[in-house]
Structure 1
Amino acid sequence: MEGAMKALLDREAIRDCVARLARGEDRRSADLIRSCWWPDATFDYGVHGGDFEAYLAWVVPGADAIKDTQHVLGQTCIELGGDSAKAETHVISYHRVDMGEGDRDTCIGGRYLDTFAFRDGEWRIADRVMLYDWEQDWGDAADWSKGVMGYPFTAEHFPGRAKGDYSERWFAGETK
């Protein structure tokens, strides 16, 4: 039972790390992202690769053309192996991109192949490879100044999150 409990806790810590990283990427939070990767980690996204500092410089502050992102995570298949683990996580990532002639909404479906290392009592990513399964250009981006489905927003904090995310203040108890 003790081994099963440790495996359960290890798997949950790995899933939590993947979720925190997606949250950090969507908010361009260097601190949150840094908490998920080992400093000597590497990555290969097919379009960009290198060491952790190259990854961080690529994601934070992020390209000016990419105004918003949202990473929706699917199942994570985890294989534990002592102080290392392999995890495949399905991801759908939305991006609002300024293409020079107006914003467009795009979406990518793929999988993260993460190698995790357990050091100093915590699991973090040691290496990541991104696999792409599909991509879709959804066309002209929605105009958030008009609200949603014809209903205007009642406050500025409802749309977007790449900068000044309302949920950060909500978690900190800084809202009404």
Structure 2
Amino acid sequence: MTTASADVRAVVANEQIRQVLARVARGEDRRDAALIRAAFWPDAAVDFGIFAGSFDEYLDWVVPGSPAVPVTQHVLGQTAIELKGAVALTETHVNAYHRVDYGTEHHDVMLGGRYLDRLEERDGDWRIAHRTMLYDWTQDFGASADWSQGLMGAPFSAGHFTGRSAGDHSETFFGQ
């Protein structure tokens, strides 16, 4: 393989890996098992500190998600990728918002951390083989504001502007 073709292969692999990571985040936020399944190998394992197990156990845990966490949003930052043939080691920064139902009120909770992923390329397809979550910080911002009808004193012009884990406008947008 020439240097140029190896460089092109590395660029393509890096982009495919970033797409895998984005697919997981979107799948978790939308509680979409198919999106998540397309990002992990069936024999994968995960360890979040508060949950560790096989891919199937993880999928059962994250989809449909806890009723006490009606909304999440995972925002991915930079990803460091080390390609080693058909294996890639990655570290991806994540800020994750969770609206948590404490029974008497909802709270807005944020955490920051890093996903340490080992991805494997099998038959030209990159997927996660193992994920470990590292937590760098967390913040409970207290009682959530009710933004379901509008923002900053201005009402929404239609009902589709409010995001939800499942059944929001993004499903229509993507033709689901």
TM beyond 0.5 = yes
Q: CA RMSD in A?
A: 1.0
Query: Which position in structure 2 is the counterpart of 1:135?
Result: 138
Match of 1:7 among 7, 10, 23: 10
What are the Cα deviations for residues 22-58 of structure 1, in whole angstroms up to 9, with x where unaligned? 0000000000000000000001000110000111011
Q: Which amino acid aligns with 2:65?
A: G
Deviation at 1:144, TM superposition (A): 1.9
What are the Cα deviations for residues 102-123 of structure 1, in whole angstroms up to 9, with x where unaligned? 1110000000000001012110
The answer to whether the 8 A contact 2:163-2:169 is kept is no
State the identity %.
Answer: 57
Extract unaligned runs of 5+ from structure 1: none
Where 1:157 maps in the other structure, the secondary structure is: helix
Alignment partners' CA distance in 1, 2:70 and 2:22: 21
Whether 1:61 and 2:58 are equivalent positions in the alignment is no
Query: Which position in structure 2 is the counterpart of 1:21?
Result: 24
- Which segments of structure 1 move beyond 2 Å, counting only runs of 4 or more? none
Query: Which position in structure 1 is the counterpart of 2:107?
Result: 104
Match of 2:74 among 53, 71, 74: 71
Match of 1:32 among 32, 35, 56: 35
What are the Cα deviations for residues 57-85 of structure 1, in whole angstroms up to 9, with x where unaligned? 11100000001000000000000001111
Q: 1:93 to 1:150 in 2, by over 3 A?
A: same
Q: Which amino acid aligns with 2:103?
A: G
Query: Which position in structure 2 is the counterpart of 1:154?
Result: 157
Question: Please, which moves more after superposition, 74-83 or 143-152?
Answer: 143-152
Alignment partners' CA distance in 2, 1:157 and 1:28: 18
Give the structure-2-normalised TM-score.
Answer: 0.96
Alignment partners' CA distance in 2, 1:170 and 1:44: 33
Give the structure-1-normalised TM-score.
Answer: 0.96
Where 1:66 maps in the other structure, the secondary structure is: coil
Alignment partners' CA distance in 2, 1:65 and 1:111: 23
How many residue pairs match? The answer is 173
